[in-house]
């Protein structure tokens, strides 16, 4: 307790008779600090609750795991058709809804397969995982929907076990199979695809009659509900093994060419299969193979013309997967990043979003990336330069991305065994030469390193691939450019779908009558709707620099323009020229260039500047400002050099741009649109994981809460 008295230092209350003012003066700063801290805490709680509720109403968390993805996958094509497929004037009427549903499934399968292919190109999944995840291109060839094989994993072995246990009634067999819709889909598809493959192999009419009799007997038993009585279903596993061997031989012949020995094996397998069906499985099928007028042996002649068809081979691969895939396929893909992207893409299709317009009607937009002197592409020296702990970049990337490194080698690996062995020997020598042995993992002495021939083109090609693989996993310009160019690839695919949809409803189109190529039209429309400019501030100085590091950056940027012809590079050019007084002075220009041919850049525009732009402001903003004049379109997306993009997210750009024209905001339409950022380095360390979650907690959710009052749209 403070006693009453005169405080000489206190001038604010000269006639104070009580100590209230002193107490207030002493405690006010403390109370205010605590108050502000409490306000921040309460705001964090409020934004979390409000943002969570807002996200729930926006349907942001319906699919969070692979199990939820499998359970909801049947509804994904419908959600895709509702949001990502634009409407056309000639929409089907109500009695044509079945055709429209089939069309939506075909469009979804095309987009889904493009997404899965991009995961394989990025080495997030292996070849076997890709085969399990894709939807067949021959969708619609069967009477049931053809789902990706990872949804049908182990369904055929499960159906065989069910058939083996049912002994009395067909109704029980059908009921147990239909308990799981995917089991029913797998059985029907397997039966119809198997018939299709058999009929394509048959060359003789007598052989065709044998298959027809078996098929008619089976369908008659199903119609009469006497399948359990007429067939020994517990012997079906013998048939599954034979068909698996048959499909393996067919695929080997497709890869190696016609082989008489293998053709004989195929004929023997077909004969054994027919004997198993008619003698072991069918109770009354002994007379089907007896034909007194037969001149040759059963299946002596085989038609292998279908093997050359890629769609037919895809059917064989898919059927073999249905017959042999075990329970472990439900955990595909193994890579956590691939799982995250699959679940995020599938979940986003159920969000409330504006419907996508046609590509020709969408808003045009540009992407602008500022760049100064950051890494463009990791060179071989960069990858193997060791830090103070003796760890190189490549060694570190191999350890934190082991499955992607394995998938990368599978992708570049030659198909034939001899070339494959040669490649692995070269890679081992190369790794040893760089100071890391494959067996011991110890660093070798420089005097012990074997010398490699620098003219070895095979090793050189592999080193370029390895440099790209490592650069796509670092914060490099190469990674950013690849991600942003997914926008153009997505627009090309969507433009093709729009054109196909139009041709389905109206058969005349002047552009086609004029003889223009559909592919050229798609490329032209994509170029009109999308522009990508990288503002490389010192590109001109790097071009003439004598420093090896700067020259390498210039060449790498030039290679990016060769790799992506629609990429544009803007830079500030300094030119020394005499003025009116005869004095030499520097003149500054904003220059835009593009790649031409194999190794040249061509100037498109040159705009004179009043002075050096970076002298009047900060480097990065002014680097962007001088290049904005080269962007085109109604919207501009600004992307930092260390950011990435994905093909599946690029498919939704049409929906994103429609937010600017949405009528739900009234007259005050938004002018800024925010997209959540995924921190791709979050898996590197615990600190990176914490910072990644911090961005979600304090940025994404905060923007979602403040979006409506500030007219700031965040997705």
Residue 644 has pLDDT above 80, yes or no: yes
Residue 421 has pLDDT above 80, yes or no: no
Q: How confident is the model at residue 416 (pLDDT cuts 50, 70, 90)?
A: low
User: Among 97-111, 199-213, 342-356, 441-455, which range has the highest average pLDDT?
Assistant: 342-356
Cα separation, 409 vs 407, whole angstroms: 5
Model pLDDT, residue 120:
95
- Under the phi-then-psi rule, with left for phi > 0, alpha for psi from -120 to 50, and beta for the rest, what region is 59? left
**pLDDT per residue as tens digits for the range 49-62:** 887 787 777 777 67
Mapped onto helix, strand or coil, the DSSP state of residue 265 is helix
Residue 138 has pLDDT above 70, yes or no: no
Local structure of residue 282 (DSSP, 8 states): B
Model pLDDT, residue 153:
84
**pLDDT per residue as tens digits for the range 304-313:** 888 878 888 8
Least confident range of 21-25, 120-124, 375-379, 531-535: 21-25
**Average pLDDT of span 571-580:** 85
Model pLDDT, residue 455:
41
**pLDDT per residue as tens digits for the range 587-630:** 999 999 999 877 788 999 999 998 888 777 778 888 899 999 99
Q: What is the largest CA-CA distance in the chain?
A: 131
**Average pLDDT of span 41-56:** 78
Q: How confident is the model at residue 419 (pLDDT cuts 50, 70, 90)?
A: low
Q: Where are the beta strands (DSSP E) in 612-679?
A: 635-638, 673-674
Residue 510 has pLDDT above 50, yes or no: no
Helix axes 205-223, 181-201, angle to 10 degrees: 160
446-479 as b/e: b if 16+ CB within 10 A: eeeeeeeeeeeeebeebbeebbbbbbbbbbbbbb
Q: Bridge partners of 636?
A: 366
Q: What does pTM read for this prediction? A: 0.82
**Average pLDDT of span 250-274:** 78
**Average pLDDT of span 696-708:** 72
Local structure of residue 276 (DSSP, 8 states): I
- Boundaries of every domain in the chain: 1-58, 64-86+97-151+332-352, 155-290+297-324, 365-374+478-502+519-678
Residue 94 has pLDDT above 60, yes or no: no
**Average pLDDT of span 273-296:** 77
Model pLDDT, residue 568:
95
Residue 375 has pLDDT above 90, yes or no: yes
Model pLDDT, residue 299:
75
Q: How far is CA 260 from the centre of its chain?
A: 41
Residue 511 has pLDDT above 50, yes or no: no
Model pLDDT, residue 126:
93
């Amino acid at each position: 307790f403070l006693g009453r008295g005169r405080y000489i230092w206190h001038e604010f209350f000269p006639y104070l008779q009580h100590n209230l003012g002193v107490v207030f003066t002493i405690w006010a700063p403390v109370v205010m600090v605590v108050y502000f801290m409490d306000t921040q805490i309460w705001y964090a709680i409020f934004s979390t609750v409000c943002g969570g509720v807002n996200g729930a109403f926006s349907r942001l968390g319906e699919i969070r795991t692979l199990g939820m993805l499998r359970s909801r996958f049947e509804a994904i094509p419908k959600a895709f058709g509702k949001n990502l497929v634009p409407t056309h004037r000639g929409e089907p009427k109500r009695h044509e809804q079945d055709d429209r549903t089939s069309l939506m499934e075909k469009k979804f399968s095309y987009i889904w397969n493009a997404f899965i292919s991009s995961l394989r190109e990025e080495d997030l999944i292996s070849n076997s995982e890709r085969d399990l995840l894709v939807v067949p291109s021959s969708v619609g060839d069967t009477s049931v929907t053809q789902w990706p094989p990872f949804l049908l994993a182990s369904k055929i072995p499960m159906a065989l076990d069910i058939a083996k246990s049912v002994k009395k009634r067909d109704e029980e067999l059908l009921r147990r199979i239909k308990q799981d819709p995917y089991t029913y889909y797998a059985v029907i598809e397997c039966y119809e695809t198997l018939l299709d493959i058999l009929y394509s192999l048959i060359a003789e009419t007598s052989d065709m009659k044998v298959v027809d009799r078996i098929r008619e007997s089976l369908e008659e038993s199903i119609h009469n509900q006497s399948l359990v009585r007429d067939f020994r279903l517990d012997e079906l596993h013998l048939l599954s093994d034979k068909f698996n061997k048959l499909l393996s031989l067919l695929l080997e012949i497709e890869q190696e060419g016609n082989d008489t020995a293998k053709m004989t094996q195929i004929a023997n397998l077909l004969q054994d299969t027919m004997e198993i069906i008619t003698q072991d499985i069918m109770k009354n099928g002994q007379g089907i193979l007896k034909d007194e007028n037969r001149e040759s042996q059963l299946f002596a002649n085989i038609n292998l013309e279908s093997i050359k068809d890629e769609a037919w081979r895809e059917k064989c691969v898919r059927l073999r997967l249905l017959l042999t895939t075990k329970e472990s396929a439900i955990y595909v893909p193994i890579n956590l990043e691939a799982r995250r992207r699959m679940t995020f893409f599938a979940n986003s299709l159920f969000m409330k979003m504006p419907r996508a317009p046609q590509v020709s009607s969408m808003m045009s937009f540009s992407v602008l990336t500022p760049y100064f002197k950051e890494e463009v592409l990791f060179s071989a020296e960069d990858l193997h330069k060791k830090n103070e702990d003796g760890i190189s970049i490549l060694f570190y990337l191999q350890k934190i991305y082991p499955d992607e490194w394995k998938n990368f080698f599978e992708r570049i690996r030659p198909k034939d065994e001899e070339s494959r062995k040669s490649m692995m020997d070269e890679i081992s020598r190369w790794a040893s030469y760089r100071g890391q042995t494959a067996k011991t993992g110890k660093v070798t002495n420089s005097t012990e390193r074997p010398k490699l021939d620098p003219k070895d083109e095979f090793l050189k090609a592999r080193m370029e691939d390895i440099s790209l693989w490592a650069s796509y996993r670092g914060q490099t310009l190469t990674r950013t450019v690849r991600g942003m160019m997914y926008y153009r690839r997505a627009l090309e695919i969507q433009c093709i779908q729009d054109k196909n949809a139009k041709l389905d409803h109206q058969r005349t189109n002047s552009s086609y009558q004029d003889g223009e190529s559909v592919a050229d039209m798609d490329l032209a429309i994509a170029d009109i709707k999308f522009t990508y400019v990288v503002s490389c501030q010192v590109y001109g100085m790097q071009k003439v620099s004598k420093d090896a590091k700067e020259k390498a950056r210039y060449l790498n940027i030039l290679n990016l323009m060769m790799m992506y012809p629609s990429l544009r590079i803007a830079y500030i050019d300094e030119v020394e020229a005499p003025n009116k007084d005869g004095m030499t002075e520097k003149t500054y220009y904003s220059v835009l260039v593009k790649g031409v041919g194999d190794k040249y850049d061509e100037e498109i525009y040159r705009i004179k500047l009043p002075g050096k732009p970076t002298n009047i402001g900060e480097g990065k903003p002014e680097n962007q400002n001088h290049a904005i004049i080269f962007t085109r379109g109604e919207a501009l997306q600004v992307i930092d050099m260390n950011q990435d993009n994905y093909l599946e997210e690029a498919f939704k750009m049409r929906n994103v741009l429609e937010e600017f024209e949405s009528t739900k905001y009234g007259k005050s339409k938004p002018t800024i649109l925010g997209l959540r950022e995924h921190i791709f380095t979050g898996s590197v360390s615990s600190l990176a994981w914490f910072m990644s979650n911090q961005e979600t907690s304090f940025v994404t959710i905060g923007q979602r809460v403040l979006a409506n009052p500030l007219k700031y749209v965040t997705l």
